[in-house]
Amino acid sequence: MRASSWEDLELLYHDHARATGFSVRKSTIRKIDGVIHERYFICSKQGTTKTKIKENERQNAKRKLVPTKRCGCDAHIRIKLDVYSGDIFFKQHVVSYNHTLTRAEWQYLQRSERTTTLKETMKAIEGFEDAHIRSTTAYKYFAKHARGTECVGHTLRDHLNYVNRLRRKEIEGGDVQTVIRQLILCV
């Protein structure tokens, strides 16, 4: 696989990660005379989590999002510059994971996916709703995956309000079958 830019292969790896169920972190960049020759993109669970937090940092650390727990996963890609053609190519693609891969419904919560929050959250809620998963159960999934309700980004009340709006919209625009289904679900 060859591409004309680093970004093309980086995006491709992000797509691969999203489909597989892990998140990506930028790693080593090697330059020669200021020109990038090699880059690594690694699974965000590579390495080990530092647990020591200095006393004066503890207060601040609590407010931050809890980082993805690292477990020494080795999944990564190494992409290189072909100095003769100017192409960028995959030199190495390691696909061994030592952790469970996440499901698509909560993929947006992964570290490398946290840029598109609101829209993706709404889409994820709609997905749970389509799958007939109870709202409180769905919210528990969000909380579990975000490692705490304070990290979800929305409250249970927001969640329920949004689900109610979805159901009302579906009833207003729906046929008899939909209305019956919604009445059963609303109990």
Residues 6+ apart with CB under 8 A from 155: 149
Identify which range of 24-32, 69-77, 113-121, 129-137 contacts Zn ion by CB under 5 A.
69-77
Q: In angstroms, what is the minimal distance from the CB of 4 to Zn ion?
A: 28
Sheet holding 35-43, edge to edge: 2-3, 88-94, 76-81, 35-43, 24-32
Identify which range of 54-62, 72-80, 114-122, 157-165 contacts Zn ion by CB under 5 A.
72-80
Q: In angstroms, what is the minimal distance from the CB of 66 to Zn ion?
A: 17
Candidates 10, 17, 18, 22; binder of Zn ion (CB under 5 A) is: 22
Residues 81-120 that bind Zn ion (CB under 5 A): 97
What is the phi/psi pair of residue 184, to 5°? -70, -45
CB of 40 or CB of 97, closer to Zn ion: 97
Please tell me whether residue 73 binds Zn ion under the rule CB under 5 A: yes
Q: Compute the distance between CA of residue 116 and CA of residue 158 in angstroms, rounded to an integer.
A: 18
Of 88, 177, 178, 172, nearest to 129 by C-alpha is 178
Candidates 39, 45, 76, 159; binder of Zn ion (CB under 5 A) is: 45
Total of chain residues touching Zn ion, rule CB under 5 A:
6
Q: Between vectors from CA 127 to CA 162 and to CA 173, what angle results, nearest 5°?
A: 60
Which residue ranges make up the site for Zn ion (CB under 5 A)? 22, 43, 45, 73, 75, 97
